Chains A and B, each alone.
Chain A
Amino acid sequence: MKRMSWFNVTSLTLGFAFLYLPMLVLIFYSFNASKLVTVWAGFSTRWYGELLQNEAFLDAAWVTLKVAVISSSIATVLGTMAAYVLVRGGRFLGRTLFSGMIYAPLVMPEVITGLSLLLLFIGIGLDRGVLTIVLAHTTFSMCYVSVVVSSRLVSFDRSLEEAALDLGSTPFEAFRLVTLPIIAPAVISGWLLAFTLSLDDLVIASFTAGPAATTLPIKIFSAVRLGVSPEINALSTIMILIVTVGVVTASLVSKRNALRAQNEVQAAERAAA
């Protein structure tokens, strides 16, 4: 391998330092024995222990996890269905409009999404709580799932579904037995993406959460305004860990997926040659 020049080494170091130094500082101080955040007083896991005693944080963590699991699951089902119809539905009236509209929430400022959801919930008289956060998160993460799944469906060989129909499956069986197993990696990485998005969302959650239920990001944000405590550092470290695992898994799954699709294409080309 070619050795990197000093310039490349410097820019790489600078870039990564810029990205990760703040997080490293946070992780570092989460193991601080002292109550004063910026004064190092030796290694301790004390704040992790105290965190486990803090009811309010544990409640918020539980709500966050529940919301993330439920909303990403619903978003995966809805997003996959939307992707399937948009890629496979043939040309129906207003198709371009629909596919444009599916992607609009991706570029919509979160504040606006949150505000409009809040107005909707007030309008229909829905009390803010876990349900409203789930609905809100489903709404915005569904389009991410739809993007991931439809990019897989575009390269999916249509004749596989036709072969399934030809062999006597109903259209639903063809989807369940042939299409779904093959696009499963894309669906899974869509779910993971939705899960992490829900986990670290602050803006939309703060519009749609009520006094009955708060999520962890909201809790942290409001706690920090009263001053940073080592407990918050510990909590944030745990969240960084979870999000990292989620993102890395999603990217590994979709990478494997891409590799497999590539192998399929190559095999088909070899067969055709």
Chain B
Amino acid sequence: MNQTVFAPWDDPNATPLIRFQNVTKRFGEFTAIDDLTLDIYAQEFFALLGPSGCGKTTMMRMLAGFETVTEGRIELAGQDIGPVPPNERAVNMMFQSYALFPHLSVWENIAFGLRRDRKTKGEITARVEEMLKLVRLEKFAQRKPHQISGGQRQRVALARSLAKAPKLLLLDEPLGALDKKLRQDTQFELMDIQETTGTTFVIVTHDQEEAMTVASRVAVMDEGRIMQVATPAAIYEYPNSVYVADFIGDVNIIEGRASPSGDEEYKLDWTEGQAPVLAKSQATFSEGQEAHLAIRPEKIRISTEKPDDAVNAMQGKVLDIAYLGNLSTYHVELPGGQVIKAQTANTRRIARRDITWEDPVWISWSATAGVMLDQ
């Protein structure tokens, strides 16, 4: 069988479902969204990731129709949605606060949107039952929102926004109110629902793990701008800036001056009295250009003996050990005072006893372990 990978963003013939074209949004003097251009494709599970206040909710509200665009335009399925009022958009939103109608039962909350479409009684009943089943709330249909738990409320909100089978579903921090375990279960549930319904999801989150788990692509935002859009794996392995590398997961940043030393290979002079670091890079750097090498802690090996095959190896002493159960992170202080984090998987039951605080250790990594970044 010929399995096709879902990657419409790599297909030059694919037409996006949503196009942000040079969109700027200002609140008075304050620019919340700054000249932003972005394409989102049908059936994507697209995550907007960024610190609080970077404009994620504002983008959602522009898609839903609650905020007008100051400059630029937003297209949905080829149509400029600027003049379309929220009640006429084939877009539904799951609100950050759920916004369930307190005077209506769970059943009536879910039926609310269907009733507005002048559907027949039979159609409405069938659809509501289907939705209740999907979110496993059949038993709670007659309860009022204040009579169910936070997790259940969140599922009602999801069912209500899915009931009209929108082209596009917007989820604004949908899982913010849940504890970690329930949150992970719900993430998988969301992915399931997204797959069965084929709806395009745009999810806002400030939790990078959540974005990495659910999304087909992730956009990392900062102060109203998009820093990078890519698949979770690409964002993690090939961040395009120190900001993105630092935002997604843990990272060591080594600053220095690059000098070419062969085919796509550079030496990075990073501190006096230490050998330069060797790194491969597809991006080109000129002689003496400032560069940052970003290396994930799990790409750094830690050992008591000097490894003889490593391209980059240096000695330091263990400052701190963070035991996380499945992983241990070692903070290793180099002679110059820099601290490098190295992570190892705890595959054996008894943690490695041969490395402990204050121990002199060697850390090493290959030339392809990190990414060289110019900003």
Contacts and interface: CB of A to CB of B under 8 A. Distances in A.
Interface of A: 157, 159-160, 162-171, 173, 177-178, 181-182, 263-264, 267-268, 270-273
B102 interface: yes
B113 interface: yes
A182 B87 CA distance: 21
Interface stretch (B89-97, B192-200, B290-298): B89-97
A155 to B, nearest CB: 13
B87 A271 contact: no
B331 interface: no
17 contacts: A159-B97, A159-B99, A160-B99, A162-B86, A162-B95, A163-B99, A164-B101, A164-B112, A166-B86, A167-B92, A167-B113, A168-B113, A168-B116, A177-B112, A268-B97, A271-B177, A272-B177
A95 B65 CA distance: 25
A166 B66 CA distance: 9
Contacts of A167: 87, 92, 112-113, 116, 160-161, 164
B66 A162 contact: yes
Contacts of A270: 150
Given A267-B146, A270-B150, A272-B177, A166 B93 contact: yes
Contacts of A182: 101-103
A273 B177 CA distance: 6
Nearest to A273: B177
Contacts of A177: 112
Contact of A157 (B93, B99, B146): B99
B98 interface: yes
A169 B87 contact: yes
A100 to B, nearest CB: 24
Given A165-B87, A167-B112, A159 B101 contact: no
A169 B92 contact: no
B64 interface: yes
Given A159-B97, A178-B101, A271-B98, A166 B146 contact: no
Nearest to B88: A168
Nearest to B110: A167
B167 to A, nearest CB: 13
B93 A264 contact: no
Nearest to A268: B97
A271 B176 CA distance: 10
B117 A163 contact: no
Contacts of A169: 87, 112, 116
